[in-house]
Amino acid sequence: MKAVQFSEHGDRDVIEYGEFSDPDPEPDEVLVDVKAGALNHLDIWTRKGMPGIDLEMPHIPGSDAAGVVEAVGEKVTRFEEGDHVAVSAGVSCGQCEFCRDGDRARCVRFHIIGEHVRGVHAEQAVVPEENLVLVPDHVDWEVAGSASLVFQTAWRMLIDRGELEAGEKVLVLGASGGVGHAAVQIADYAGAEVYATASTEEKLDYAKECGADHVINYEEDDFAAEIRELTGKRGVDMVVDHIGEATYSDSLKSLAKGGRVVTCGATTGGNPGAGLNRIFWNQLSVIGSTMATPGQVDDVLELVWDGTFEPRIRETLPMSEAERAHEMIENREGFGKVVVIPDSEYE
């Protein structure tokens, strides 16, 4: 088979699309003919190399994909040949205290397909049975292959960890990205008043289409100052911040008394000043979140499959142009998800 791959960490020029050994499913795994997959910012981090993660090389990236079941291992019971499936990339041990309590997203040995182990941007992939979800036949491959990671991440952030309530004010930073545009839709669905930031007027228009009530161009305006003005100096109840060092201080400034920042990542750096004076004086909360439990994945993806939520696709490319796909993510080009399709499937 052919696969996107790299044999060393580095810039985009380490990416290749070429022959790779055919995968063979273990007893609890499923062999999937991949029809479409999507990039996430973690694909960039993985390619560049992250401290503490020692990948087997060559490495196939990719945490999002969808396709058709080609074969199943002898212990697989939930899927059969011909099923349409999508990958849910969070892998848990099923045995630690958090897994036993039903919150596998807090697993002490939690890891991610494509980030810590071999990914799914290839013509075929083997995936553990528990990391697949059924996809209705009417759902387009680009939708099925791009929804899972960002919508489950945003759902857990806002609904579970952030305990968002109808009528609250929510600020979503980076609303043009994968998690950002999912968070805007989920916040709107939950009945919140949604504020969103992006860097161009085109992206802000898309954010409005996704459900944002107020938009701020962070390239032109200080978003914390704009939030104070728009809310009559009150601030918002929640900030969704997956950007990190560049925005963290202003995220705290944007909160009302008793508000909370919910974060799932730090694309600009993970070590901002703590802001403890503001946190204790205004009684703020900073809440971490990552991916979701199987039940939460099912809940949010049902709302994707029925059209309530929509992963916006900024570009669809053949896998042989994966280098260009990485470039689009790094340069923040466009709105929504970048999808890659095996060259053998690309029209």
Q: pLDDT by residue for the chain (347 residues), tens digit each?
A: 999 999 999 999 999 999 999 999 999 999 999 999 999 999 999 999 988 888 999 999 999 999 999 999 999 999 999 999 999 999 998 889 999 888 888 888 989 999 999 999 999 999 999 999 999 999 999 999 999 999 999 999 999 999 999 999 999 999 999 999 999 999 999 999 999 999 999 999 999 999 999 999 998 999 999 999 999 999 999 999 998 888 999 999 999 999 999 999 887 777 888 889 999 999 999 999 989 999 999 999 999 999 999 999 999 999 999 999 999 999 988 889 999 999 998 87
User: What pLDDT score was predicted for residue 38?
Assistant: 97
Q: What is the DSSP letter of 131?
A: G
**What is the pLDDT at residue 46?**
95
Q: What pLDDT sits at residue 197?
A: 96
- Do the Cβ atoms of 114 and 63 come closer than 8 Å? yes
Length of the chain, please? 347
The per-residue pLDDT for 342 is 97
pTM confidence score:
0.94
| Structural domains of the chain, with CATH | 2-147+311-341 (3.90.180.10), 151-288 (3.90.180.10)
Taking a C-beta distance cutoff of 8 angstroms, is the pair 86, 133 a contact?
A: yes
| pLDDT at site 52 | 82
59: tokens are 């490495």
- Exposed/middle/buried for residue 187 (C-beta within 10 Å: 0-12, 13-18, 19+): buried
Q: Which residue from 242, 234, 278, 64 is spatially nearest to 161, judged by alpha carbons?
A: 242
Tens of pLDDT, residue by residue over 224-258, are: 999 999 999 999 999 999 988 889 999 999 999 99
CB contact set of 5 (below 8 Å; sequence gap of 6+):
15, 16, 17, 18, 20, 58, 59, 60, 61
Report the alpha-carbon distance of residue 90 to residue 127 in Å, rounded.
11
Contact 105, 291 (CB under 8 A): yes
- What pLDDT is recorded for position 93? 87
So what's the pLDDT on residue 267? 76
Element (H, E) at 112: strand 111-112
Closest to 151 in 3D by CA, of 68, 87, 223, 243: 87
**Which long-range CB contacts under 8 A does 193-202 form with residues at least 24 apart?**
193/167, 193/168, 193/169, 194/170, 195/169, 195/170, 195/171, 195/227, 195/230, 195/236, 196/171, 196/172, 197/171, 197/172, 197/173, 197/223, 198/174, 198/335, 199/332, 202/335
**pLDDT confidence of residue 48:** 94
Residue 5 neighbours by CB distance under 10 Å: 22
Cα separation, 127 vs 120, whole angstroms: 8
Q: What is the CA radius of gyration of the chain?
A: 20
